[in-house]
Amino acid sequence: MNHHTRRRLVMGNWKMHGSLAANAALLDGLAAGAMRAGETQLAVCVPFPYLAQAQAALAGTPISWGAQDVSVHTQGAYTGEVAPAMLADFGVTWALCGHSERRALHGESSDLVAAKAASALAAGLTPVVCVGETLADRDADQVERVIGEQLAPVLALGAEALARLVIAYEPVWAIGTGRTATPEQAQAVHAFIRAALAQHGAGQTRILYGGSVKAANAASLFAQPDIDGALVGGASLVADEFLNIAAAVA
Ligand code: PEP
C-alpha cells in the first residue's frame, strides 16, 4: 500500500490563539471553503473553551475538530485537567498528545504522552501523538535515538492502538520558526517512524509532518511517500492559507 491509499489529513493547531469573534470568522471561512480540500481530511484543534463554538460551526461540514491536550484521568480531583469523555461530549474527534510545547513547557514525559494517547483511545478519540527532535539533537546526530525514545512507550500500546492513532513528526527547530525541514529531511524521519510502526504491526498508521508548513511548501512535503499530511500551527489561523495547504497537490 502506498501513501495514496492513506487518506491525507491536514490538521490545524490554533495553540493559544483566538476569541469568540475571531474564531467565528475563521470557522465560517473554513466551512465555506472546505470543498477545496477535495479528498483531503480537514481538522482543527482549538483551545478548550472554544470546543462548543467549533462544534456549532463545523457540525454538518466535512471538517472535524479536536483538543490540544487530554488528561490521563477519567474524572476526579485533577484541577485544570480535561477528561477525554468531556471532549467526546463536544463531538471531539482528535486529541493532540505531547505537542513539543507541552513536552518543553510542561515537562510532559514520553510515558505520560503515551498514557494520554491510551486515555484518548479509551474514550473513542483519535490521539495525534507528536514527536520531534531539537536542533541540538539534530546537530549531535541523535535524531533517530530521540524519536525512538519518544515513540517507544507509544509503540508498546500495541498494534490495535497504533492502527487507531496518528503520529505527527514535528522537529522542534521547525515549529513557529519559519524554518521548514526539507522534504528529504522530513521523509527520512517519516520512513524511520514508518519502519518502527511496521515492526509493531501498524505500517499504515498516518504520519503527519509539522513545522512551518504553508501553502508554498506543502506540495513538496506531500510528494514524499511517507508524509500523509500536515499539522499546521501559524498558517492554520488564516482560512485561505490553511485551505490552500489542504488543496496542495503532491
Ligand atoms: C505546531 O504547532 O504544531 C506547528 C507545526 O506550528 P507552525 O506550523 O506554526 O510551525
Query: What's the 176 CA to ligand 1 centre distance in angstroms?
Result: 5
> Under DSSP, is residue 45 helix (H, G, I), strand (E, B) or coil?
strand
Q: Is 170 a catalytic residue?
A: yes
Give the per-residue pLDDT at 4: 59
Q: Is 200 a catalytic residue?
A: no
- Which DSSP category does 16 fall into? S
Closest residue to atom 1 of ligand 1, CA basis: 233
Give the per-residue pLDDT at 6: 97
Q: Give backbone dihedrals phi and psi of 211, rounded to 5 degrees, phi first.
A: 140, 95
Find the angle CA(175)-CA(72)-CA(234) to the nearest 5 degrees.
Answer: 20
pLDDT at 249 over 90: no
175-215 pLDDT, tens digit per residue, is 988 888 899 999 999 999 999 999 999 999 999 999 999 99
Distance of CA 224 to the CA centre of its chain: 18
Q: What share of the chain is helix, strand, coil (3-state, %, to 5)?
A: 50, 15, 35
Question: Residue 83's closest CA among 92, 91, 94, 74?
Answer: 74
15-47 pLDDT, tens digit per residue, is 999 999 999 999 999 999 999 999 999 999 999
Tell me what the mean pLDDT of segment 222-243 comes to: 98
C-alpha cell at 46: 482549538
Cα distances (angstroms) measured from residue 216 to each of 14, 75, 142 = 20, 43, 29
Residue length of the chain: 250
Q: Is the CB of 176 under 6 A from ligand 1?
A: yes
C-alpha cell at 56: 456549532
Q: Is the CB of 234 under 6 A from ligand 1?
A: yes
First to last CA, the chain: 17
Nearest ligand 1 atom to alpha carbon 178: 10
Distance of CA 250 to the CA centre of its chain: 19
Give the per-residue pLDDT at 230: 98
C-alpha cell at 144: 533517530
- Find cell 514535528 and name the residue: 170
pLDDT at 3 over 80: no
Nearest ligand 1 atom to alpha carbon 174: 10
Residue 94 β-bridge partners: 66, 126
Tell me what the mean pLDDT of segment 102-123 comes to: 98
In one-letter notation, the amino acid at residue 150 is Q
Q: For the whole prediction, is pTM greater than 0.75?
A: yes
Give the per-residue pLDDT at 23: 98
In one-letter notation, the amino acid at residue 55 is Q
Give the per-residue pLDDT at 179: 86
Give the per-residue pLDDT at 164: 98
Distance of CA 212 to the CA centre of its chain: 13
